[in-house]
Chain A
Amino acid sequence: MQWIQFDDKLAGYRRELVLTETRLDHYDEFRQFFRQELNLQPEDVDGGRNHYFQAESGRVYELIFVGKTGRFFPAGLEILLLVKDINPLPDEDEIDKDLWEFLRWMISGVGGEWTVEALESTGYLYRVPFAERPAKSRK
């Protein structure tokens, strides 16, 4: 995945909400990771810019960070798929594959006890088709 500038090209696209996280601070290191990695500031909720990433598939996703009084910023995150004109949403598995790419990036950035291996193993155990089989169980 790669970060791209997309703000000036939004005309003709519609936003489709594909994932909502209301508690980025459930483990605060995740909230801090986004804040540092994307240089987010509390004042961003007042007209700040959104962030866009392009998955390997070519699809583009918008990240909207949510602020709430009584909580540290960013409190939440909405991930939206940008879909051209009236084109249909892709199959859920295709979106899930893109989001898995995003999760891998996020976990490798959070680091510490949060490892990509643990993510892949959890995904594999719960039958996420894009998760890599853990090395221990490979024959």
Chain B
Amino acid sequence: MVTEMPLNVKEQYPFQAHYLKVNGRIMHYLDEGEGEPILLLHGNPTWTFLYRKFIPILVEAGYRVISPDLIGLGMSEKPCNDYYNSLLHHTSNLDQLVKKLDLKNVTLVMQDWAGPIGLGYVMRRRENVKAMLLMSTWAWTDVSPFHSSIFPWGMMHAPVVGPYLLQRRNALTERGLWLSVVNRDKMTEEVVDGYRFHLQSYDERGAFLRFPRMIPLGEKNKENTGYHIIKEIEEQLPGLDIPALIIWGEPDDVFPREWAERFYEILPIAQKPIYIQAKHFIQEDEPEFISRELVRFLESL
């Protein structure tokens, strides 16, 4: 369903829309500023709106900022089937975007699903990667306590319950975002409007369900998830000799602080993690701080 962006969303997101085709699907992306390219990558259930406060700071600092909406989310095409949404699809889509825009020496900013998707790209195209920023994400087949519990996460994407909560009730947008930030006063109706306006119907919200179901949950769901792909990334992490900045929310209850330490210990060229008062949607909690730390980090390389 095509809907015009409401005025209150436009005011928060005053960027020019761009579109291109990747693997036969229409991808929406932002392309702002000039300079070395920084790719701002989102996960589920967000879109490039998540980075609206990063973009002006990074552009002002002299970078070209490219931020794509994953196929199935944001203003990109939202297919109504299960077959477009695998890690390999999304990593291939990212690779296509980089190739079509002829981006060289890219810096990847990754949070949530953008971690496995972006690291899958880094693994295959490391010669084209300058640096990376990792926030509230993962790259191993271990299950976090949050993801392994029945209440609330397991129940959230269980058969039949999943389509009910995530598609009919739009639970992640209407409540999940709010639950996963520290500064809840900042999650005003205007901000939530930014996350909900492009997902008004049941069919448009299919990705909300498909992403949780890709999370490896041990042996039980091995064949139905991204297990094998994430395992491959996990095995290659120690060899990813790319400068890495790690910024993590101290009270993050989706991906615990220990996982930031784990990235730091595994990655060969990682800076000691920076911990801030933020939860999973760290970009909503501390956009200015993270953007400035990223600029400082890139200038130090």
Contact = CB atoms under 8 A, between A and B. Distances in A.
Contacts of A121: 151-152
A107 B171 contact: no
B contact face: mostly helix, strand, loop, or mixed: helix
Interface stretch (B134-142, B157-165, B184-192, B270-278): B157-165
Interface string A2-45: 00000000000000001111111111001100000000000000
A132 interface: no
B151 to A, nearest CB: 4
Contact of A122 (B152, B159, B160, B163): B152
A20 B203 CA distance: 9
Contact of B165 (A18, A20, A23, A128): A128
A127 B169 CA distance: 9
B224 A22 contact: no
A9 B69 CA distance: 47
A106 B160 contact: yes
A23 B152 contact: no
B171 A126 contact: yes
Interface in B146-173: 150-152, 155-165, 167-169, 171
Interface in A94-127: 96, 99-100, 102-103, 106-107, 113-115, 118-119, 121-123, 125-127
B174 interface: yes
Contacts of A118: 150-152, 155
A contact patch SS: helix
Interface in B78-129: 82
Contacts of A24: 159-160
B161 A77 contact: no
Interface residues of B, number: 27
Given A126-B152, A126-B169, A107 B161 contact: yes
A92 interface: yes
B164 A96 contact: yes
Contacts of A115: 150
B162 A96 contact: no
Contacts of B175: 125-127
Contacts of A106: 160-161
A19 B169 contact: no
Most B C-beta atoms less than 10 A away, residue of A19, A20, A27, A96: A27
A26 B159 contact: yes
A82 B158 CA distance: 25
B106 to A, nearest CB: 34
Given A125-B152, A125-B175, A126-B171, A77 B160 contact: yes
Contacts of B174: 126-127
- Give the 7 A-B residue pairs with the shortest CB-CB distance, closest first: A30-B159, A126-B171, A122-B155, A122-B152, A118-B151, A126-B175, A21-B160
20 contacts: A18-B168, A19-B167, A23-B224, A24-B159, A24-B160, A26-B162, A26-B221, A26-B224, A27-B159, A27-B221, A31-B159, A79-B160, A96-B168, A99-B164, A106-B160, A106-B161, A114-B150, A122-B151, A126-B171, A126-B175
Given A114-B155, A126-B156, 9 more contacts: A23-B82, A23-B159, A27-B159, A31-B159, A77-B159, A100-B164, A118-B151, A118-B155, A125-B175
Interface of A: 18-27, 30-31, 77, 79, 92, 96, 99-100, 102-103, 106-107, 113-115, 118-119, 121-123, 125-128
